[in-house]
């Protein structure tokens, strides 16, 4: 069976695996974004706190993904749980780092002006600082998503969802008729999803970043 015949015959399962893969990455990115921006907001005003947040999240990223999942299995079991925890932790660094950089890069005169007209610290953050810091934050989200697309494939090791199951099944059955087709289908599926997510982020950027900031 050639590759195209394999795709036609298994398209339903491939679509299901692709949906599960995209869903896992999307949901973990939402959690990582909320946590990452929150950490950035809490730490960006302090040099040591910002450095500590960056150091901790970068240290997490140095742990091999397979080792991370293996360490989590005795704690949270197999399936979705280790996948969610692993992807969320790995997604933090670019978002935390870019949130801190973006917030620190806001022009102090704008913040002073907002203070001068009576804005509270929360209002300044929500209406001035975060909107101006949004472009680098969005870049961090894009980088995290691209990383997690590949890392999510490793989740199949812990019976996690997604296209990684195809790749692992293909590797486990090397020499069989469809082994290469499975690995190729899983790999190309992840690449296509990564490109679709990135295109969506480009569109979100155009819709949410004012033209003045983009220029």
Inter-residue contact 164 to 21 (CB < 8 Å): yes
* Band (212; pLDDT cuts 50, 70, 90): low
Question: Is it the case that residue 122 has pLDDT exceeding 90?
Answer: no
Angle (CA) 200 187 18, round 5°: 55
What's the farthest any 2 CA atoms get from each other in the chain?
A: 72
Q: In terms of pLDDT, which residue wins out, 28 or 178?
A: 28
CATH class held by domain 3-214:
mainly alpha
Inter-residue contact 213 to 196 (CB < 8 Å): no
In this prediction, residue 111 carries a pLDDT of: 82
Can you read off the two tokens belonging to residue 171? Answer: 């590797």
136-192: pLDDT as tens digits: 999 999 999 999 999 999 888 777 788 998 898 888 887 787 888 899 999 999 999
Q: In terms of pLDDT, which residue wins out, 214 or 96?
A: 96
Whole-prediction pTM = 0.89
Can you read off the two tokens belonging to residue 45? Answer: 């005003």
Question: Is it the case that residue 214 has pLDDT exceeding 70?
Answer: no
Can you read off the two tokens belonging to residue 195? Answer: 């490109």
Question: Is it the case that residue 112 has pLDDT exceeding 60?
Answer: yes
Each domain of the chain, given as residue ranges in start order, spans 3-214
In this prediction, residue 186 carries a pLDDT of: 92
- Per-position DSSP letters for 93-116, written without gaps between them: HHHHHHHHHHHHTS-HHHHHHHHH
Question: Is it the case that residue 108 has pLDDT exceeding 60?
Answer: yes
Query: What 3-state class would DSSP assign to 73?
Result: helix
Angle (CA) 103 108 112, round 5°: 120
């Amino acid at each position: 069976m050639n590759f195209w015949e394999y795709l036609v015959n298994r398209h339903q399962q491939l679509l299901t695996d692709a949906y599960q893969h995209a869903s896992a990455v999307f949901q973990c990115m939402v959690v990582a974004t909320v946590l990452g921006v929150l950490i950035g907001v809490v730490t960006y005003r302090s040099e040591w706190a910002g450095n500590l947040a960056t150091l901790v999240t970068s240290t997490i990223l140095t742990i091999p993904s397979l080792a991370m999942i293996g360490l989590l299995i005795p704690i949270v079991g197999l399936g979705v749980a280790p996948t969610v925890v692993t992807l969320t932790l790995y997604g933090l660094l670019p978002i935390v780092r870019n949130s801190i950089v973006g917030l620190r890069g806001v022009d102090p005169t704008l913040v002073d002006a907002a203070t001068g007209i009576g804005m509270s610290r929360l209002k300044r953050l929500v209406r001035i600082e975060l909107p101006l810091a949004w472009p680098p934050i969005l870049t961090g989200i894009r980088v995290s998503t691209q990383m997690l697309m590949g890392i999510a494939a490793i989740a199949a090791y812990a019976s996690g969802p997604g296209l990684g199951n195809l790749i692992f099944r293909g590797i486990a059955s090397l020499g069989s008729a469809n082994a290469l087709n499975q690995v190729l289908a899983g790999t190309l599926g992840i690449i296509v999803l990564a490109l679709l997510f990135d295109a969506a982020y480009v569109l979100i950027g155009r819709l949410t970043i004012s033209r003045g900031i983009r220029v």
